[in-house]
A and B are shown apart, each in its own frame.
Chain A
């Protein structure tokens, strides 16, 4: 703290910092391209598919966005820290399969089964994280390996244990009704069924945004991704932060798996969470403004990206087009987002918003 006792070397006294204008700060937000994209897509489909603006359309969009957003937010944090996780989707399926097997085959009641599958998901996260941190291998490959192992194990395992790759009829389990409100409560508005997953999504996004911008942990996440060596030299706990983030994506996977398990009362090994595959979470995070190189990104952006994805997907369905067009549209959106992110970043050197 000797700085306080040093003479001022500069000729000028410290001037009050000039805050950048509101416009410059808004333009510097990583989520800007996603917000623009969302507005365009919403306007387009509001005309092309008027059913989207009904309570039913809205509820469907929000539900898709929520599932995607829960995974997307966690993956966005991980991307900011410079790492990849392909295994979120398969952790969702595998952990819900484990819950189902514990209930159906081992006869456990619901809550302990959920707790054990959460622990299992966390341990996968720890393994992912420790492998990445200790070996220095690219996390893309490590989690690809985890993805394959879990995919194979869950299919072959459930076949061997339960004699089928589909485990269902869980709604008769002990303690099942107590978790339904938590994971699949809903509110009927008109013909739309608004699920509690939306609340999970919004709460997690808000929490992640606060954590990323307002806490020491968030600073560590940014530093891990953008300047790993500097982070090491300044004593930022790089390894601990990375492992924690892999645990976070694994828990997000567990939450997704649990929400879909509770909703349908059954799970299909080798299936997907609802309509999502693992790569979608990364697409959403990138559309939301995360750089694949790390050190830059936004969880709000990931949430906006999830909404954009959901609007486009439901819009195509409700407009009566061939739903297979969706993938092409998603690819185009991703490409536009990548270019826009790059342009915005170069135009304004003012990257962080604070």
Chain B
């Protein structure tokens, strides 16, 4: 909540994305209540929380799918109000959605550029630049470990893991400022997760603000620099890597204060439990 200026940005670390008192309501029910957090450029911020704690709402707001009702969202110090995910992508915020946002009947390259197609020519004749799109798709997919791909084959012909790679490669291609990764619903193999982890770390090294939404506290602790804990739409904790170890993070995720209270009450009644 410190600076609210469009002055030249300080060197390191710069806030990539900043949420100030962000409130989002589903009807009357607040999905997010006055959430404030800074997602630094060049850092990996992990968002953790139970189901329904507001993780995906944060993702929707950051990537432009939902508009916030109150508060401010700042991108590079400038307040923004996205009207569409396209605007978010235009300022360099790219997202890996949990459903991967892949259209099964469209070809791989059409999926890759869906909503942000490269074109050539002037308006009445403006058309897709298909060769460039195919070439970029093949190169970007090779970078996440999928080689020998026919960009004209439909996404439905890809294996599940390749579809995840498509979503990640697309986000890497379009994310110039921030990368938001909402963990895919489909299980990821360890090999692929390793590749994605490498890609995420490379993105951090490039100075992107990286946001990872995950249910796995051990993975979060492995790659995260900062941990944003959400509970019932509120910020329950904003910790750095120095504050917590993986076990604490697990405990915090698993039920937070209620679990601690339960542990205290049980150990008070049965002291032998504390020795376990």
Q: Which residues of A contact B (CB under 8 A)?
A: 1-3, 5-10, 12-15, 17-20, 210, 214-216, 219-220, 222-223, 226-227, 229-237, 295-296, 349-354
- Residue pair A352, B110 in contact (C-beta under 8 Å): yes
- Residue pair A232, B85 in contact (C-beta under 8 Å): yes
- Residue pair A219, B114 in contact (C-beta under 8 Å): yes
Asked if B87 is an interface residue, CB under 8 A from chain A, the answer is yes
A80 → chain B closest CB, angstroms: 10
Q: Which residue of A lies closest to B195 (CB)?
A: A9
Q: Which residue of A lies closest to B83 (CB)?
A: A235
Q: Which residues of B contact A (CB under 8 A)?
A: 63-65, 84-89, 95, 97, 99-107, 110, 113-117, 119, 126-128, 130, 134, 138-154, 156-157, 169, 172-176, 195, 198-199, 202-203, 206, 208
Listed A/B pairs (15) with beta-carbon separation below 8 Å: A2-B172, A2-B176, A7-B143, A10-B145, A17-B134, A17-B151, A222-B103, A222-B106, A222-B110, A223-B106, A230-B101, A230-B114, A235-B115, A350-B153, A351-B154
Q: State the total of A-B contacts with C-beta under 8 angstroms.
A: 169
B250 → chain A closest CB, angstroms: 29
A103 → chain B closest CB, angstroms: 32
Most interface-central of B64, B105, B141 (chain A CB within 10 A): B105
A210 to B150 alpha-carbon distance, docked (Å): 22
* Contact status of A233 and B97, CB under 8 A, knowing A351-B154, A351-B156: yes
Given B114, B154, B157, B169, which contacts A223 in the complex, CB threshold below 8 Å?
B114
B152 → chain A closest CB, angstroms: 5
B154 → chain A closest CB, angstroms: 5
- Residue pair B152, A19 in contact (C-beta under 8 Å): yes
A308 to B172 alpha-carbon distance, docked (Å): 47
A207 → chain B closest CB, angstroms: 11
Known A1-B173, A9-B144, A352-B154; further 11 A-B contacts with Cβ < 8 A: A3-B173, A9-B199, A10-B144, A10-B145, A17-B149, A219-B110, A227-B105, A230-B99, A230-B100, A296-B105, A352-B105
A231 to B146 alpha-carbon distance, docked (Å): 24
A192 to B35 alpha-carbon distance, docked (Å): 74
- Residue pair A219, B153 in contact (C-beta under 8 Å): no
* Contact status of A10 and B107, CB under 8 A, knowing A1-B173, A19-B152, A236-B115: no
- Residue pair B152, A2 in contact (C-beta under 8 Å): no
Given B101, B145, B152, B172, which contacts A234 in the complex, CB threshold below 8 Å?
B101
Residues from chain A with a CB closer than 8 A to the CB of B143 are: 3, 6-10
- Residue pair A14, B138 in contact (C-beta under 8 Å): yes
- Residue pair A2, B203 in contact (C-beta under 8 Å): yes
Residues from chain A with a CB closer than 8 A to the CB of B99 are: 229-230, 233
Q: Which residue of B lies closest to A218 (CB)?
A: B128
- Residue pair B147, A15 in contact (C-beta under 8 Å): yes
Residues from chain A with a CB closer than 8 A to the CB of B65 are: 232-233
Residues from chain A with a CB closer than 8 A to the CB of B157 are: 349-350
A351 to B174 alpha-carbon distance, docked (Å): 27
Given A2, A229, A296, which contacts B175 in the complex, CB threshold below 8 Å?
A2
